[in-house]
Structure 1
Amino acid sequence: MNNMLLGVIDATTYHDGLKELSLHRSLAAIPFAGRYRLIDFILSNMVNSGIVSVAIFPKYQYRSLMDHLGSGKNWDLNRKRDGLFFFPSPNLDSPNKGIGSFSHFAANMDYFYRSRQEYALISNCFTVFNMDFKPVLDRHINTGCDITVICKEEQSLEMFLVKKSLLIELINTRDETGYTCMCDVVADQDHNNYTLCTYEYTGSYVAIDSIETYFQANMKLLQAQTWKDLFLKDQPIYTKVKDEPPTRYLTGSSVRNSIIANGCRIEGTVENSIISRGVVIGKGTVVKNSIIMQKCEIEENCVLESAILDKDVKVQPNTSLIGTEENPFVVRKGTVQGALMNS
């Protein structure tokens, strides 16, 4: 399959509902499940499906995304031939109407011309799922489709499989046809001659497009079956490896039904929460139903419930941060929360 399918990830999407978490990073780089980023899922799915050439097309705030991906080593994409490619948008002012912007692709046509793969898989960057794309390609070829749309219960997942030569044609003729992206082509099937097919994905998935969906998707991972459905032994989800010591659980600490990453120091109580790398939770502090991102420091005698703390947040002693499942209390990256500030 490595000579057949090219991976293309559109990382230009911006959701207003995730503004609080995407002020300093792209949507693709938003942390998830304690140690992953959203892009890890589609990128790992591609690698597990035998794809060895992946192009990522970002637009805004992509420094953290580049830092996370690096050379692609953690996904076995640091290769002399093929591998991981990064193509930032040359025009920040042009709006993106859908997944797979043809104008963005047009600025990097050499990649498509030089790649040796015959087909291309174009995908968004914000869907959390675990899927093998090999059956999609097999069916696409056997049925003679021009474009295959991956769906779930007849709803498009905004993932498209297309012959590379047709993709190049669509890019080069975009001014004549008026098609700006793959979504336009699919939506206009009544007026073009392309054979459109759908492939039904049967597994679980969630598209992260708001704080509410982000919070709920993380919380569902605390259910054993949800975790098993997403993190499959034969189709692992890869991420950036960080060599950190194990988490320390001090005397008096209590942890129940939570995901705890490496390098933490826990002296308080944690229940039904996701704790990322390097987090400090002080004595007498209670954290429930919350998402705490990397290197946050929560000092003594604090209460956090239904809260999302972005990276490097410091919570001063005796502070209460209380939200709800429908409206979590979100704290922006690198800020300080104190008892007097919240009174």
Structure 2
Amino acid sequence: MKDVMGIINLQEDNKLIRELTDRRAVESMPFAGRYRLIDFTLSSMVNSGILNVGVMLPDKPRSVLDHLRSGKDWDLARRHDGLFYLPSPSEEDSIRKGDLKNFYHNLDFFEHSSQKYVLLTSGSFVYNVDFSQMLRFHQNTSADITMVYYTAKEEQPGRNVVLETAENGLVTDLAEKPAIYDDSKVAMNVYLIEKRIFVELVRYTYEHGGQDLLMDGIIRRANEYNIYACEHDGYVAHVDSTAAYYKANMDLLQPEVWEELFMGNNSIYTKGKDEVPVQYKETAKVKNSLIANGCVIRGEVENSILFRGVTVGKGVKIKNSIIMQKCDIQDDSLVENVICDKNVVISKEKWLKGANNYPLIITKNVVI
């Protein structure tokens, strides 16, 4: 995979998850107690042997920069290649919407790299993928563009690209749909393209008025390229809405999902933080939950995920909830079907309850 450069495109539409992304990019959303969403794509690249990774920064890059920093935790702080940040164009250059302008204004990064292929991904997917298998498939089929898809097991809303393929993997139809249904083949926003073709695609599409790389560069010009797709049969979650974020976190409470993502041969890496172990006091009761280091538990926690440094008071009951870093849930409170962002304080004897399929959201630094 030394011939492949990885690109993580962080230009995501956050309209359906705006409550949690007001001050951060979608890809830097806290996830699974100690990770960020971008960790899954970045770790998959590193585990596949990709040593040159460019991050296409969003309009609000601070949270991404703070998390990734030099890339040391992913072994990307290197003298040659390593981790690179590709900034969005200045305001006077950003009249056109879409992500295509970002690729166009950073074409020199692609042209000056020594790699032959470009692996283009999104940072809002949760998976653990070996991209080296994708490269072999791409070379064996002599494809211009290779995609990765998964087969949907249930109906899902949101912006999704659905495709149809022949038996050999040749893509025969490709379209964006507002919802997907059982057994649909859904693209994972992973594209492997020879660098020469990628540069031509970006330059031609942008200079002819295109705005979105997927819609204007790939879907509308699909008949000009030899496009193949290979299937990923493992766990996949696309976090593009609040409901999807909540469901993906709750999925981790299933042992088989957790084992596939975190207990296999390929690890998921994140920024290291030294925290003391969890303190379970005499009155603590915890069932089917993920509890991160630094937490102090005196109450009851069931089917929930607690991030680092959360304090749970005596008599508290937390169920089916996500409690982010350094929240303080004080004595005799009830929290059910709730997402608490960082540094939230829920004072004594407060009862908070959301709907089963759509949680109540408490934004960052709020005191209730």
User: Same fold by TM-score, threshold 0.5 exceeded?
Assistant: yes
Match of 2:194 in 1: 163
Q: CA RMSD in A?
A: 1.5
Instruction: Flag the 1:36–1:175 CA change in 2: closer, same or farther, 3 A.
Output: closer
Tell whether 2:108 aligns with 1:110: yes
TM-score by length of 1: 0.93
**Runs of 4+ residues deviating >6 angstroms:** none
Tell whether 2:140 aligns with 1:139: no
Deviations 1:51-85 (A, max 9, x none): 01111112222211111111101100000111111
Check the 8 A contact 1:189/1:196 in 2, yes or no: no
The equivalent position to 1:258 in structure 2, one of 289, 307, 319, is 289
Amino acid across the alignment from 1:19 = R
The equivalent position to 1:297 in structure 2, one of 320, 325, 328, is 328
SS state of the match for residue 356, structure 2? Answer: coil
Cα deviation for residue 110 of structure 1 reads: 2.4
Cα deviation for residue 109 of structure 1 reads: 2.2
CA distance in 2, matches of 1:148, 1:27: 25
Unaligned segments of structure 2, at least 5 residues: 152-184
CA distance in 2, matches of 1:227, 1:117: 34
Cα deviation for residue 174 of structure 1 reads: 2.5
Deviations 1:70-113 (A, max 9, x none): 1101100000111111122124655654xxx3320222222112
Match of 1:50 in 2: 49
Match of 1:62 in 2: 61
Superposition pairs of residues 127-276 of structure 1, within 5 angstroms: 127-153=125-151, 154-180=185-211, 181-189=213-221, 192-276=223-307
Match of 1:28 in 2: 27
Instruction: Flag the 1:96–1:258 CA change in 2: closer, same or farther, 3 A.
Output: farther
Tell whether 2:304 aligns with 1:306: no
Tell whether 2:325 aligns with 1:287: no
CA distance in 1, matches of 2:298, 2:280: 6
SS state of the match for residue 8, structure 2? Answer: strand
Match of 1:278 in 2: 309
CA distance in 2, matches of 1:196, 1:103: 23
SS state of the match for residue 224, structure 2? Answer: coil
Instruction: Flag the 1:228–1:36 CA change in 2: closer, same or farther, 3 A.
Output: same
Cα deviation for residue 177 of structure 1 reads: 4.3
Instruction: Flag the 1:22–1:271 CA change in 2: closer, same or farther, 3 A.
Output: same
Check the 8 A contact 2:101/2:206 in 1, yes or no: no
Task: Please say which of residues 137-146 and 226-235 is displaced more in the overlay.
Answer: 226-235
Cα deviation for residue 142 of structure 1 reads: 1.8
Instruction: Flag the 1:275–1:95 CA change in 2: closer, same or farther, 3 A.
Output: farther
